[in-house]
Amino acid sequence: MTSNKDISKFNISTQLTQLGRDPAEQYGFVNAPLYKGSTIIYNTLEDIEQKRARFSYGTTGSPTIANLESAWTQLAGAAGTVMSPSGLGAITLAIFTTTKAGDHLLMPDCTYRPTRNFCNNLLAKYGVETTYYDPMIGGDIEKLIKPNTSTIFLEAPGSQSFEVQDVPAIVKVAKKHGIKTIIDNTWATPIFFRAHEHGIDLSVEAGTKYLGGHSDILLGMVSANEACWPELRATYDYMAMLPGADDCILALRGLRTMHLRLKEAERRGLEMAAWLKARPEVQKVLHPAFDDCPGHENWKRDFLGSSGLFSIILNEQFTKSDVANMLDNMSVFSMGFSWGGYESLIIPFNCTDYRTVTQWKPEGFSLRLQIGLEDMDDLKKDLDEGFSRMNMNS
């Protein structure tokens, strides 16, 4: 637990150093100890009958989990937070909180693909219908609302394609119709986008990414505003799918440097995106801070920064084998899913097959880059050599 000192008056980096720990309760140690376990001991018959304990059983949490929950609640400006063993788990927890059989859900066409999978398969099986919408729809989302629409899901920017949604316009429509909003805020984190201050009810974060920051944990968080907190907590308690304590300790450690790492990811992301934009091989840079990116104006208006993940579209002349020449032989960038760690990644992607209401028809190959903490000149040299290999047959 954070001590009772009021730290909300401090700026975010100061808060991040103080959240979720209380040396006075930890024999003076700076960091809180690791608690693992199932059974909690009660002293009297009265105590056990009344479940008189801060934690009644391991599934309801532990000091370690509570430290991270309370830290995230404060960082997100929320009323409460629950955790999940993965970001996808957190997304499903949020959707289960605001939907029931017979309901209708609106989902952006740019959403993280496993979220789409969940909606089309498991959620459909439980009688919730999903309609996909153009992420750039803005206030016109009102036309898609049905009497049974319970939830509008948002993801800004979109996974891989980076459309930045008009969150205020969508939230306004949702509020008018008494519809709950959920956002996947993984890219920006609460440091660069204040979801609850923009009226979002439930905000999801894959802690796997920038909170963990080292590609060594899987974790998800859902934070809720006052109105949705009791239902979110209840949904979590029905399932008790909680992360392991060791991962929570790593997340608490990640929290201390998250601000620093994000600021650095931003600086590097911007520098690399600008460098790529000037390359003749690159047709388009999909980075929310660049005006090629759909919704760039929304990003400028609503976001406080940008992180280190963005995409590029290559010129159309390059074939798959040209791109393979580049990607198969990189020496600093690696190919792999996920992001937010210290290492640079580059992956090809194609949204054409699964989009249903918008078309993804770039002229050339699409690549997504995560800029890590390697030397910028080494990274540029690696890409420069990659482009030379790509150009060999052209």
Give the nearest distance from C-beta 205 to ligand PLP in angstroms.
Answer: 8
| Secondary structure (3-state) at 205 | strand
User: Which CB atom, from 203 or from 325, has the smaller least distance to ligand PLP?
Assistant: 203
Give the nearest distance from C-beta 217 to ligand PLP in angstroms.
Answer: 9
Residue 39 tokens read as 């059974």
The residues, any chain, with a CB within 8 Å of residue 184's CB and separated by 6 or more, are 91, 111, 112, 115, 153, 154, 155, 204, 206
User: Which CB atom, from 61 or from 341, has the smaller least distance to ligand PLP?
Assistant: 341
User: Which CB atom, from 130 or from 159, has the smaller least distance to ligand PLP?
Assistant: 159
Strands (E), 50-178: 80-84, 104-108, 129-133, 149-155
Applying CB under 6 A, does 206 fall inside the site for ligand PLP? yes
Residue from 190, 220, 305, 308 in contact with ligand PLP (CB under 6 A) = 220
Per-position DSSP letters for 209-232, written without gaps between them:
TTTT-SS----EEEEE-TTTHHHH
Applying CB under 6 A, does 184 fall inside the site for ligand PLP? yes
Residue from 72, 96, 112, 162 in contact with ligand PLP (CB under 6 A) = 112
**CB count in 10 Å sphere of residue 342:** 12
Contact 219, 243 (CB under 8 A): yes
Give the nearest distance from C-beta 262 to ligand PLP in angstroms.
Answer: 15
Applying CB under 6 A, does 159 fall inside the site for ligand PLP? yes
Applying CB under 6 A, does 218 fall inside the site for ligand PLP? yes
Applying CB under 6 A, does 86 fall inside the site for ligand PLP? yes
**Which residues in the 316-355 window bind ligand PLP by CB under 6 A?**
338
**CB count in 10 Å sphere of residue 372:** 21
Applying CB under 6 A, does 186 fall inside the site for ligand PLP? yes
What per-residue string of b and e applies to 269-291 under the rule 16 or more CB within 10 Å gives b?
bbebbebbeebebbbbbbbbbbe
End-to-end alpha carbon distance in the chain:
60
Give the nearest distance from C-beta 209 to ligand PLP in angstroms.
Answer: 6
Contact 210, 307 (CB under 8 A): yes
User: Which CB atom, from 326 or from 345, has the smaller least distance to ligand PLP?
Assistant: 345
Applying CB under 6 A, does 88 fall inside the site for ligand PLP? yes
Determine the interface stretch with ligand PLP among 31-39, 74-82, 85-93, 283-291 (rule: CB under 6 A): 85-93
Q: Residues interacting with ligand PLP, by CB under 6 A?
A: 86-88, 112, 159, 184, 186, 206, 208-209, 218, 220, 338
